[in-house]
Amino acid sequence: MKIAIDTNGVLRDTLGKAEQVYQKFFIDDYIQEEGEEDFEYKLNLPITSMNLIDHFVFPKTEDLYDFLYVDFPMNIFGHAASVSANTFNVVNEIYENLRDDHEISIISDEIQKSKPATLFFLSKYGCLVEKINFYSKITMDDVISEYDVVITANPDILENEDFNMKKVKFNTSYNENINSEYTINNLEEFKELYEELKLKENV
């Protein structure tokens, strides 16, 4: 089997860090520039969808893009915390236990400067997985279709009925209304689920 572990929401608390950065730079420490029109920056929490402009309020959608991928990518994607204290201990254990029989990859939904920031994040936490595959909305179909099992929190993957692989939903606040045959709350739970997937693979 080819198994992919997604980064955002599974390994990295990306949106939690984005909330902190937005709060600091657009609410707590924000200084309005001369001539700038009045605008109320605010966070609408909890984040219940990936339509992020509904949660990180900016004058224009382009401003949200700049926030994430131009102005603060290292703050957000590089310095975010892992989802849990033992996330990468578990990832490395999964990799070491399964690599002889399966191809294990890290995948990540990234564009622009979030790519090097993500590589920094993975190195900072000592990720041992050798293969890292970036995807975007444009390349998602080609990248994701390579795998037999995808562990993800991404609604775009979970709701895509064209993907024939086994999709393992990692529960988050923004995908709780999406049904999935396989669901986990942490990567420890994947160890048990793997045995079930392996049995079905051999049937």
Is the same domain home to 139 and 196? yes
For residue 3, the surrounding DSSP H or E stretch is: strand 2-6
Of 122, 175, 29, 163, the C-alpha closest to 183 is 175
Of 38, 54, 78, the one marking the end of a domain is 78
DSSP for 119-154, please give it: HHHHHHTT----EEEEE-TTTHHHHHTT-SEEEE--
Residues 98, 33: one domain?
Answer: no
Among 28, 43, 78, the domain boundary falls at: 78
pTM score, whole prediction = 0.90
Give the distance, in angstroms, between the CA of residue 67 and the centroid of all CA atoms in the same chain: 17
Tell me which residue range forms the domain holding 37.
14-78
Average pLDDT over residues 107-114: 94
pLDDT, position 74: 97
On the question of pLDDT at 70 being above 50, the answer is yes
Same domain assignment for residues 34 and 127: no
The tens digit of pLDDT for each residue in 118-151 reads 999 999 999 999 999 999 999 999 999 999 999 9
Together in a domain, 66 and 125: no
